A and B are shown apart, each in its own frame.
Chain A
Amino acid sequence: MSVQPIDRYVERIAPDVQTAVMENSITATQKRHDALFGDYEDPDKIRRIAGAIKQHTVEHLDRYLPQAEEKLKANGVKVHWASDGEEANRIVFEIMRSKKATKVVKSKSMVSEETELGHYLEERGMECVETDLGEYIVQIDNDHPSHIVKPIIHKNRQDVARSFEREGLGEYNDDPEVITHRARKHLRGKYMEADVGITGANFVSAESGRMLLITNEGNSRFCLAPTKVHIAMVGIEKLVPKDRDLSVMLNLLARSATGQRLTVYTEFISGPKSAAQPDGPEEMHLIFLDNRRTQVLESDCREILRCIRCGACMNVCPVYRQASGFAYRSVYPGPLGAVLSPLLASKFADYADLPKASSLCGACNEVCPVDIPIPDLLLRLRDKAKVEGIKSPGTPPMGMWATMASKPVLWKTALSAGKMMDFFPKSMIPVPAFQAWYKKKDLPEWHGKRFRSWMANRPNPKKNDQPEASEK
């Protein structure tokens, strides 16, 4: 049986990458658990509240988006709407050109990964520096993030030390403190030279137009301190109705992502700098990006738009732990990506195999801070692929099985015939699913119909009114 792309990736993954991903994921899952269960008697209650808030929000975007736009404008923010990544990138580029800006410092943002903003700007002669340490390392390595919160979860400090040496940031030294210090020194120069600071947003309150950014390195604040223009690129699903909803989200986000009560920095941004502030951007733009999110909203998988990008689902996912983020071939890996990537893709068929990369164990749903029923969504997407006639390798055909399993005569014949398996060399049994199993593990002896015979023929059934038995 031909193998699924993700499974082939698992077969070939470098052992040190797999170990790094496995160990980091296990640690993150444990930290999340300790942080939530240490502080709350029943974290599930908060997860359900947060889920309800976000579900309500995405189902009423038609109300909350105009409300947010109005508030943002009143706060002095220029609001832009982008239907796809290309348009969002172009808006950024046009703003920069109108300001004669050439240098950007950027804090971590998943939507900008989605639109490949950094490459877009560099291709047009702009300098765009990632300032989150992990993202910076991804950038100098010309690599991709393999996790939405820990972009370099697949690398170890020796890898990073070699990259820094290559980039001329100092002689080889893999002491994390030295690495961090060198990055800081290098990036501080970049902040001071930059014209524009680009960020994402973790949340935007429709009530006040307040935008929320969380980081551990403080890099988003550095991005916004010396620059004159702030551009925020935000997915349309990032809204919450009211400021008070932010408290629910903040209590869950850092705990779920990194096991912290709060990240080191929590910034509330209500517009460009006021007259009283000595520095900060004089101009602020916010680009709301659709990029097929409205299509997701129309689908029966709209719950995925609740996601607040904490990464807990990938940390806990046994398939992600075996496969690493790159196996998912898209910006969003793990269970989140297995649902979202096919939906955001221009062709669903290109990623229709991703929803199959799950044993449906449900751990992702159990840890999700907004209680997204990820296994149900994976199953719906599997059915969608089948209904649309999209073939993906490695899925056993079910038509004949279904006919057998709905006709008892055929079923019982098959139960008897299965005994044949024990008389043939296992390697000669021409059933692909059987071979896929037998290549890896033994199969128990066939005992087809034995229970039925016992049930029908035992001497002393207890008040059993089953026809064969009652005749005795």
Chain B
Amino acid sequence: MVNLKRKSPPGKKIQLMATCLCDAFFDDVAKATVEVLEYLGCEVIFPDGQTCCGQPAFNGGDWASSRKVVRHTVEVFRGEEPVVIPSGSCTAMLLHGTVLEFEKETDRKQVAELASRSWELTDYIVNGLGINEWPGKFDAKVAFHRSCHTRGSCSGETSLQLLNSIDGMTVVPFGGGEQCCGFGGTFSVSFPNTSEGMGKLKIANVMEAQPDILTSGDMGCLMHLGGLVDRHNKELQRVHIAQILRDALQNGGLIEK
């Protein structure tokens, strides 16, 4: 779905799109993203006017509303710097979704320009900065949920590459890995029963592999799966991949706790 040829290598001064979910619920994921990028020598700019990538309305079928938000986002993230996003889903929205909903719009070039600078976090680390192994230490068995919006992009592979390279970490496979977890943004509230059924299947498959941690590059999936895990009093720790990368650096004494 997403296949973008970019100018490489990009600069180390970057703009962070923290994502609306981190803005509202998961502050530590955004913090971890900053700490990881700064460890790599990046200068992180956080444009204060940022809100959301526009995906809820895009998927909800209200493209006029979505375009309004995307236009705002394009304005907020003006500049030359790469835009780094700790979410495969928001990245896919910028790389593909916005392009689709602006096909017939006169300002589609500005939108495509932002797309050409947008990077999912692990894609930026591996393919942008050329980091192939992650330093530090993290003793754990992790299950990696490859979120659907990274299909057709390299983010699934770059995430796995980094996780597999961490000292002490084992990535455990689980059944039905290619299947959606049932989040799907607005889908999870407009199709609550279907979404729940899909989520329970994912959780059963993950838990059968007995990982210490379930990780993903998308907090949407983890919020949905985590909500089901907590509601049914199960035990499954959920951690965003940015937090794993940050914690590995801390455990290895490479950055302060």
Using CB atoms and an 8 Å cutoff, list the residues of chain A in contact with chain B: 1, 3-4, 6-8, 10-11, 318-319, 322-323, 355-363, 365-366, 373, 375-376, 379-383, 385-387, 394-396, 398-399, 401-408, 411, 415, 418, 432-433, 436-437, 439-452, 454-455, 462-468
Contacts and interface: CB of A to CB of B under 8 A. Distances in A.
Interface string B183-227: 110111111111111110100000000000000000000011011
Contact of B189 (A322, A365, A396): A396
B44 A376 contact: no
Interface in B22-49: 22-27, 30-31, 34, 38, 43-46, 48-49
A386 B62 contact: yes
B52 interface: yes
A10 B200 CA distance: 14
A393 B231 CA distance: 26
18 contacts: A6-B191, A322-B194, A322-B197, A356-B191, A358-B184, A363-B180, A383-B101, A396-B56, A396-B190, A402-B69, A404-B51, A406-B72, A411-B51, A433-B189, A437-B192, A442-B227, A449-B23, A455-B46
A395 B186 contact: yes
A403 to B, nearest CB: 8
Given A395-B190, A408-B76, A462-B38, 5 more contacts: A359-B195, A363-B151, A363-B180, A385-B61, A468-B48
B100 interface: yes
A1 B201 CA distance: 24
Contacts, number: 230
B231 A442 contact: yes
Contacts of B59: 360, 379, 382
By Cβ-Cβ distance, the 3 closest A-B pairs, closest first, are A382-B61, A359-B184, A441-B227
Nearest to A382: B61
B58 interface: yes
Interface of B: 1, 18, 20, 22-27, 30-31, 34, 38, 43-46, 48-52, 54, 56-66, 68-69, 71-72, 76, 97, 100-101, 148-149, 151-152, 178-180, 182-184, 186-199, 201, 223-224, 226-228, 230-231
A362 B71 contact: no
B127 to A, nearest CB: 20
Nearest to B37: A462
A7 B194 contact: yes
A462 to B, nearest CB: 5
Given A386-B62, A442-B227, A442-B231, A408 B191 contact: no
B192 A436 contact: yes
B227 to A, nearest CB: 3
